[in-house]
Amino acid sequence: MIQKETDVVIIGGGPAGLAAAVEANSAGCKVMIVERDDGLGGILQQCIHPGFGLHEFKEELAGPEYAQRYIDMLGKTKIEVMKGTMVLDMTPKKEIFAINENGVVKIAAKAIVLAMGCRERTRGAIKIPGFRPTGVYTAGTAQRFVNIEGFMPGTRYVILGSGDIGMIMARRLTWEGAKVEAVVEIMPYPSGLIRNKVQCLDDFGIPLYLSHTVVRVHGKDRVTGITIAKVDENWKMVPGTEIFFSCDTLLLSVGLIPENEVSKKAGVKLGKTNGPEVNQFLQTNVDGIFASGNVLQVHDLVDNVAIEAKKAGKMAALAVKGMKIPSVNAGDAVPLVAGNGIGYVLPTKINTIVDDALVKETGTVKISLRVKKPANDINLKVKNGSTEIYKKFYKHMRPSEMIIFELDPVVLNGIDKKLPLEVYIEPKEQKEVAKK
Amino acid sequence: MLYDFAIIGAGVTGAAISRELSKYKVNVVVIEKLSDIATETTKANSGIVHAGYDAPAGSWKAKMNVKSNPLFDQVCNDLYIPFKRIGSFVVALAGQGTGYIEELYQNGVERGIPVEIIKDLAAIKKLEPNISNETEAVLHAPTAGVISPFLLAIAMAESANINGVEFHFNSPVQNIENMGKFFIVDTPSRSFQAKAIVNAAGLYADEVSKMAGDETFKITPRKGEYLLLDKMGDFVRKVLFPVPTKKSKGILVSPTIDGNIFLGPNARDQDSKLDTSTTLSGLDEVIEGGRKLIPNVPLGDSITNFAGLRAVSDTNDFIIGESTKVPRLFQAAGIQSPGLSSCLGIADELVDIIKASPNLSGTEIKLKENFHASREKPVIFHDLSWSERDALIKQDKTFGHIICRCETVTEGEIVQAIKRPIGARTVDGVKFRTRVGMGRCQGGFCTPRVIKLLARELNVDEEEIVKREPSTRYFFGETKDFRKENAPIMNGRPIQQ
């Protein structure tokens, strides 16, 4: 068994892991990335479409180009990268057990950043009945077949779910010469970004069926067709609304699930996002274990992943340097709860007693959330009991876009620590809107 | 070549009989319609070894189940098949009365099966913490167990193969000619001559029997739908059966041998022997039934749903023995529940019948001196300790490469599954031997990688690799060729490339 020791171990060498590593390194720590694949970049390597890095690099990059920017930064550092190495176990004492072609590797870390990303929700998770033929793939698997392996997984497609990967694959497959018969979405609005609906569906004349879902997969050996139907508000099928499409492939873009099997082994507690519960320092309930990127919450843009991961990398480095990072479990941690209209909100808790030195390092408290459904002309508010401590107007809010806002730590000083902080939205009064 | 025996069907029954016959100095061939062992009824059932108190007294089902249950330990030990006697509960809920479980208790006592009735809810909850609070009493049968039906069938077939039994796949029997002293069994690729036929053709046993000249029974497919949940420790510990109601024979909740939880099956007779599709109403029925036993069963952790077809004979019992119409046609038909539990007993019984048959007096059926009871132990990386893993990887670095991250399956195990006797040739073949793709991501991550490994080991193009049958290909050519022939359209006009 190979034994190693380091300051900060980053589990996962995708966009979150790369950004966290670069940041922890520049804070002066010995850093190691453990990556299961043979190369760095994670899922970005198969995302050959443009649209990455607009905020961060002020350029429109393809996924592999974006990843390469970080890989180049990494090349100039002493960060140790263990590729082809899969973490199988992790303890609360921050010992990591992994395997690679040389054997078992045991790594003792002073701090850990979880950056394992997420996986796709499958057919089984959403209970689609019918046969089990070949030709039913998650959009990401199909993306790998086409963009990495160079094979066509089908010729005529129905895509369930209007998530970003699904819509991007609709365009990619059309571009490759295949026919996408329909994109089907159970919600009454597209679940991916509007720009993807315009650029990937509308430009190619691909119909989007909202409030519809797949009710049957046909074909015992290979998909021969898909029946979709309209659903009511409770997602129950409306009889008599079935539409049949003859096709050979069904792609699923029905959501992503943070991949936390390893986190759970160290006793990391998971919350509403299926990611770890964290405080504003991205520290989990296990001191010294931090989380960022899609393992924490599914992000809309890689740029937001990088911002969050840099913070986690920095916090891990500060912890190694001996700065006390408050615990999620501490008495001063006030829960942040999702109120009216909010799907989820992070961090799970906000520590209210924080050293000035740490405040100086971290600045404002960043809060991220998603709304449950699209809304226009609304106020986003935070209240503590009946006291409103934050308010911001938004012209549009959509579930496909992560909302990130900042709280000044000063406002936290005066709050009632026995009561949670509730984040919610409410319609702005018409008069007020008119004035704007 | 004239075989002594042609076994038709490589499900768990055919595999068990083939292994039993391989103990003797006889030539045996197994002829299978589909691409692998255990590809039909055997691959989609509950994976339970029943204790044996359930079937009506005097039936083949009861006799074979009781005979078979104790035989599992030895076979599983010899062939390295995971098997756990986790015990079962028949759960009588409030208002259902205890009459039914008392009847079963009597059956158990009469058949020499260990059974007990537990009426104290606290005692029941100690054994099964998440069971319904409505539970009034349970019949506990500690000898019931869970097993992987496909690993069992594959291991027995492999053992038979090591001991000289031939296997032919993708060989649907199209015609059987009775030549008096032997039969000719035609398949699309070749014909087989055999002195005797063992009919273990599952759903198609009636058709095979008819081809051989015996039309005395009919098989009706009875669909059972299942919902499979992710692994969740010991959330459910025992096989839980309900008391049957007028509406339904009852939906079970049980752990699988691998620690997943399943709900099902329902029971719906149908005409089609091909329709293994699941239905919305069926899955709802399964969920409703399962919740009665474990009200807080975490349905959000569902990872897949599937359906299997039981081969139900018109006597509603197993049909075992030499055909009354056609000498040397031996039937192992109508093998529905408890068929898996009974397979070892059926193999044993049928071989005794074969040995005693006056119609086979010309064939000497003598035990081999050199029967190999065991087989090479398959590596299951997931179950090894850290030091064992380390040593294994140092010996062979392909064990240091995880292909299926949900189930922790390594490249080494996949190569092993392909290279073993009757090795995997398809993605499902690898899956059923190694658990690749059976986890929570359902092959999303590993399928492209398994296809690559199969292509490499079998020395064929990736495009040739299939999921199951030849009609289950993955790819429609390479992207660069496809694009040339199919100009894409944007805003109504072809895109110039």
Per-block mean pLDDT, blocks of 10 residues, chain B (497 long):
97 98 98 97 96 96 98 98 98 95 97 97 97 98 98 98 98 97 96 98 98 98 96 95 79 97 96 95 95 95 95 96 98 97 98 96 90 97 96 97 94 98 97 95 91 97 94 92 78 67
pLDDT surpassing 60 at residue A52: yes
Q: Do A177 and B466 touch (CB under 8 A)?
A: no
Give the minimum alpha-carbon distance from B306 to chain A in angstroms, rounded to a whole number. 8
Please name the member of B278, B389, B466 whose beta carbon is closest to the beta carbon of A104.
B389
Provide the whole-model pTM. 0.94
The predicted pLDDT at position A435 comes to: 53
Integer Cα distance of A280 and A283 in angstroms: 8
pLDDT surpassing 70 at residue A432: no
Peptide linkage before A420 cis (omega within 30 of 0): no
What tens digit of pLDDT does each residue of A4-45 get?
999 999 999 999 999 999 999 999 999 999 999 999 999 999
Peptide linkage before A347 cis (omega within 30 of 0): yes
The predicted pLDDT at position B197 comes to: 98
Side-chain-facing half-sphere of A33: CA atoms under 13 Å: 35
CA B404 to chain centroid, in Å, comes to 22
B188/A contact by beta carbon, under 8 A: no
CATH number for domain B81-147+220-306, candidates 3.30.9.10, 3.40.50.300, 3.40.50.720, 2.40.50.140: 3.30.9.10
- Identify which of A250, A305, A247, A308 has the alpha carbon closest to the alpha carbon of residue A281: A308
The predicted pLDDT at position B487 comes to: 73
Nearest CA in chain B to A249: B474
B295/A contact by beta carbon, under 8 A: no
Instruction: Kindly report, as residue ranges, where domains of CATH 3.30.9.10 are found in chain B.
Output: 81-147+220-306
Q: Do A205 and B282 touch (CB under 8 A)?
A: no
Number of residue pairs across A and B with CB atoms under 8 Å? 171
The predicted pLDDT at position B484 comes to: 79
CA A69 to chain centroid, in Å, comes to 21
Q: What is the 3-state secondary structure (H, E, C) of chain B?
A: CEEEEEEECCCHHHHHHHHHHCCECCCEEEECCCCCCCCCHHHCCCCEECCCCCCCCCCHHHHHHHHHHHHHHHHHHHHCCCEECCCEEEEEECCCCCHHHHHHHHHHHHCCCCCEEECCHHHHHHHCCCCCCCEEEEEEECCCEEECHHHHHHHHHHHHHHCCCEEECCCCCCEEEECCCCEEEECCCCEEEEEEEEECCHHHHHHHHHHHCCCCCCEEEEEEEEEEECCCCCCCCCEEEECCCCCCCCCEEEECCCCCEEEECCCEECCCCCCCCECHHHHHHHHHHHHHHCCCCCHHHEEEEEEEEEEEECCCCCEEEECCCCCCEEEEECCCCCHHHHHHHHHHHHHHHHHHCHHHCCCCCCECCCCCCCCCCCCCHHHCCHHHHHHHHHHCHHHHCEEECCCCEEHHHHHHHHHCCCCCCCHHHHHHHHCCCCCCCCCCCCHHHHHHHHHHHHCCCHHHCECCCCCCECCCCEHHHHHHHCCCEECCEECCC
- Range B1-80+148-218+314-377 has CATH code 3.50.50.60: yes
The predicted pLDDT at position B362 comes to: 79
What tens digit of pLDDT does each residue of A201-246 get?
999 999 999 999 999 999 999 999 999 999 999 999 999 999 999 9
Provide the CATH number for the domain formed by B382-464 in this structure.
1.10.10.1100
In the residue annotation, B50 being an active-site residue is answered as yes
Instruction: Kindly report, as residue ranges, where domains of CATH 1.10.10.1100 are found in chain B.
Output: 382-464
Please name the member of B277, B462, B473 whose beta carbon is closest to the beta carbon of A129.
B277
List A406's β-bridge partners, or say none.
Answer: A366
Instruction: Kindly report, as residue ranges, where domains of CATH 3.50.50.60 are found in chain B.
Output: 1-80+148-218+314-377
Would residue B60 be called left, alpha or beta, if left means φ above 0 and alpha means ψ between -120 and 50 degrees? Answer: alpha
The band of A268, judged by pLDDT with boundaries at 50, 70 and 90, is: very high
Six-digit token string for A363? 């600045």
Please name the member of B393, B486, B492 whose beta carbon is closest to the beta carbon of A177.
B486
